[in-house]
Chains A and B, each alone.
Chain A
Amino acid sequence: MAEIIVCSLSTGLSLFLLYFAKGFPKSIKPNVPSASFFPTIIGVILLGLSLFNLIHALIRIKKAKSAGTYEKQSVEKGKVFQILEIVLLMFLYAFLWKYHIGHFLLNSIVVFALICVLLGDDVSWQKSVVFSTGLVVFVYVLFTFLLRVRLW
C-alpha cells in the first residue's frame, strides 16, 4: 500500500512539473536550454519511473493475492490511529505557530505532552507530562536565550 502511495505521489509531482513547465519563457540564446528544459526532462523521466514502479507494485500485489501470500496491512490498525493522532497534533501545532494563536511555550507544552502521552506506552502519563514540560522549557531557553532565535 505504501508503495502505491509513494508511486502515486511521484506520478502527481511529475505531472505537476510537466504542466507548469509549459508556461516558462523560452530561452533567449540559441543552444542554451530554456528554464523549462530541466523540469520537462525530469518530469518525463519521473513519470516513466513512477508508472513503472506503480505497475510493478500492482502486479506484485496481484500475484501475491492469487498465491495467498499477500499481507494487507504492514502497520496494525491500532498503530495507524496512533500515528494519525500524532501527525494531526504536529500539524495542529504548526498551524497554531503560523497564525500566532496562543503562546509558544504553552502550545508546545500542551502539544508535546499529548504526543509524549500518546507515544508513552512504557511510562505513566504523569511522568510523560513532566518530561515533555521540562524538554520544552529546555528547548525554549536554548533557542531563545543561548542561540538568540525568536521562536514566536
Chain B
Amino acid sequence: MEALATALAAVFSVKVLIYTFAGVALGMFIGAMPGLSATMGVAILLPLTFWVEPKAGLGMLFGIYNSAIYAGGISAILLGVPGTPASIASTFDGTKISKMGQPTLALWINTFFSVIGGVFGVLILSVASFPIARFALRFGPPEYTMTALFGLSMMVAVSGKSVGKGLMVGFLGLGLAVVGMDPMQGVKRYTFGNPILLDGFSFVPIMIGLFGIGESLKQLSETPVPNRKQRDYTKKVESNSDFMEEDPQAPKRMSFKEVWAAKWAFLVTVAISVIVGAIPGTGGDIAAIVSWTQCKNFSKEREQYGNGSKEALAVTCAANNACIGGAMTTMLTLGIPGDSVTAILIGALMMYNYTPGPLLFKEHPDMVMIIFVLLFVCNIMILFLGNLSSKLFAKFTKLPRSWISTTIIVFSLVGSYAIQNSTFDVFVCLIAGLLGFAMAKADFPSGPLVLALILGRMMESNFIRSMMLPPGTYSTFFVRPISLTLFILVILSLFGQQIMKAIKKRITQRRSVK
C-alpha cells in the first residue's frame, strides 16, 4: 500500500500529468489516422521523451500506446477504415452501427469498452506480474538464453505467412546485434574504428527508420501516380459526407441494462486478450478477432454479430486495450516484448537505466508501481478525452497525406539525431528506412528484426555465461527443467504446424494401408 501511495504521489505531479495527457492526445491523432500505427507513433516520438524524467517520459509513451490502440476504432467506426491494425475487427460491427444512424453510440461503445478493457488489463497485469517475476527470479543464464530464443521464435512464428522469411529477418537482426564489443572479452567486432559502434547499433534509429521512414515510403508506393499537369486543388480529396449521418432519435450511449448484459462476453474477451497479448508476436488485431469469434459462439445474439451488434463492437474494442495488459506483463516480468510497441518500450526503459525483467521487480518495485498507475491514468484520460473529442480526431483523417508523411520524415530524422547528437544515427535511420521499405514490399515482417536486435545481446551474454557453468557443454540447456521446457516450446512454436502436418499425414497413410 505504501508503494502504491508513493507511486500515486509520483504520478500525480503537474509535469507527469501534462506529458501523459500530451501522449494521450498525440496517440488519439495517430490512432485515428489510417496508415499511422501505435508502433510508428511510439518510435518517432520516443526521442522527445529522453530529455525528461523517466516517469514523465514513460507517461507520454504509454499515453501514445494506449490511446492510439483505442483511437484506431474511431476511423474504423466512422469511415470503415481501421486506424491501426488492432481495430480491424471494430469495422465488423462499428461501421454498420454508424450506418444505422448511430455513430455517437458506436463511438461511446468504443471509448467506454476500450477504457474498461484497458483497466481490467492493467488490473490483471498488476496482480499477475509479481508472482511471475518471483518465479522468473529462479532463472539462470540458460533459462534467460532460452527465454530470449522463445520470444524470438514466437514472433517469427506468428508475424508472417512464412516461417522462413521470419527466421531470416530474425537472424538479420541478430547479425546487427553482434556489432560492437563482445560481451565477455571486450573484443571490438565490426566497428571499423568507429567509436559510436562500440556499444553496437543504437536500436532507436533503426526502429524509427523501419517504422517511420519505411512505412511512409511504403504508403507512398501504394498511392496512385499523380498526373501533375491535371491537378485540381479546388476539389477536396475527401468530403465531410464520408462521415455517417446521425439519426436525431438514436441513443447516444448504451443503457446500464445493455452494458450488464454484455458482462460475460466482456469477461471472456478480457481473459482471451490478456493471454493473447502475453504471447510474444501477437497483438490487438489477433486478440480482437479471436474474442469476436469466441463470443459469437456463446452469445445470445450471435446472429447479430457482424450485422451491427453493440455487444460485438464492445467485445472488439475491449479486446484491443485489454491486450496491452498482457503484452506489458511479458515485457515487464520476462523482458520479452509482446509486440513491436513493447519492443520499443523496452528500449525506452533501458535508456532510463531500468532493464525489464524479474530484477526490475526486485530492485525497482517503486518504478513498477509507477508504471501500473501510469497505465491506469492513461485509461482515465482516454475516457475523458475520447468522450469529448472522438469526432474531432476523426476529422484529422482529412489532413493531406503529404503533410502527414513530411511530419513523419522530419521527426524521424531529427529524432534519430537527437538521441546521441550524432548524424551517424541519421544515416542508420535512413538505411533502416530503405530496408524496412524493401522488406514491406517483399512481405517480410519487421517485428523479428527489432526483437532480435534487443534480445540478441541478452541471448549472447547469457549463452556464454551458461557455457561457463558446469559441465561447460551444451547439455547445460537440457538438464535444467525450465530451460528444457522453454527449448521444447521454441521447437513447437517454430515447427509445431509442420510436425502436426507430418503426424496427420503418417496417420492417414497408415489408415489407407490398413
Contact = CB atoms under 8 A, between A and B. Distances in A.
Contacts of A16: 190
A119 B225 CA distance: 11
Ordered nearest first, which 7 A-B pairs have the shortest CB separation? Answer: A78-B225, A120-B402, A121-B226, A2-B441, A35-B187, A31-B472, A119-B402
Given A33-B463, A123-B403, 11 more contacts: A53-B164, A53-B165, A90-B413, A90-B430, A90-B433, A91-B430, A94-B426, A98-B423, A98-B427, A139-B411, A147-B418
B171 A49 contact: yes
A150 B164 CA distance: 44
Contacts of B220: 79, 82-83, 86, 119
B360 interface: no
Contacts of B152: none
A115 B406 contact: yes
Interface in A120-152: 120-124, 128, 131-132, 135-136, 139, 142-143, 147-151
Contact of B441 (A42, A75, A131): A75
A120 B237 CA distance: 12
Given A38-B463, A98-B423, A147-B48, A116 B403 contact: yes
A82 B464 CA distance: 48
A55 to B, nearest CB: 11
Contact of B406 (A27, A49, A98, A119): A119
A63 B482 CA distance: 46
Interface in B45-62: 48, 51
Given A45-B171, A46-B168, A53-B165, A75 B221 contact: yes
Interface residues of B, number: 65
A64 B420 CA distance: 47
A34 to B, nearest CB: 8
Contacts of B434: 87
A29 B434 CA distance: 41
Interface residues of A, number: 74
Interface stretch (B105-113, B172-180, B484-492): B172-180
15 contacts: A2-B438, A3-B442, A9-B435, A24-B182, A28-B185, A33-B464, A39-B178, A49-B171, A83-B221, A91-B430, A119-B401, A128-B402, A132-B406, A150-B421, A151-B414
B324 interface: no
Contact of B175 (A2, A14, A97, A147): A14
Contact of B418 (A2, A21, A149): A149
Contact of A5 (B48, B426, B442): B442
A5 B441 CA distance: 10
Contact of A24 (B164, B172, B175, B187): B187
Contacts, number: 186
Interface of B: 48, 51, 164-165, 167-168, 171-172, 174-175, 178, 182, 184-185, 187, 189-190, 213, 217, 220-221, 223-226, 228, 231, 233, 237, 400-403, 405-407, 409-411, 413-414, 417-418, 421, 423, 426-427, 430, 433-435, 437-439, 441-444, 460, 463-464, 467-468, 472-473
Contact of A27 (B185, B233, B438, B443): B185
A149 B400 contact: no
Q: Is the interface of A mostly helix, strand, loop or mixed?
A: helix
B172 to A, nearest CB: 5
Contacts of B168: 7, 10, 46, 49-50, 52-53
Interface in A92-124: 93-94, 97-98, 108, 112, 115-116, 119-124
Question: Counting chain A CB atoms within 10 Å of each CB, which of B51, B414, B467 scores highest?
Answer: B414
Nearest to A126: B233
Contact of B51 (A115, A148, A150): A148
Contact of B164 (A52, A91, A147): A52
A135 B414 CA distance: 12
B473 to A, nearest CB: 8
B442 A17 contact: no
B298 to A, nearest CB: 42
Given A2-B442, A120-B402, A31 B467 contact: yes
Contacts of A91: 430
Contacts of B410: 108, 112, 135-136, 139
A46 B177 CA distance: 13
Contacts of B437: 83
A124 B58 CA distance: 39
A74 interface: yes
A70 interface: no
Given A115-B409, A147-B48, A83 B217 contact: yes
A59 interface: no
B414 A119 contact: no
A143 B178 contact: no
B51 A147 contact: yes
Contacts of A87: 217, 430, 434
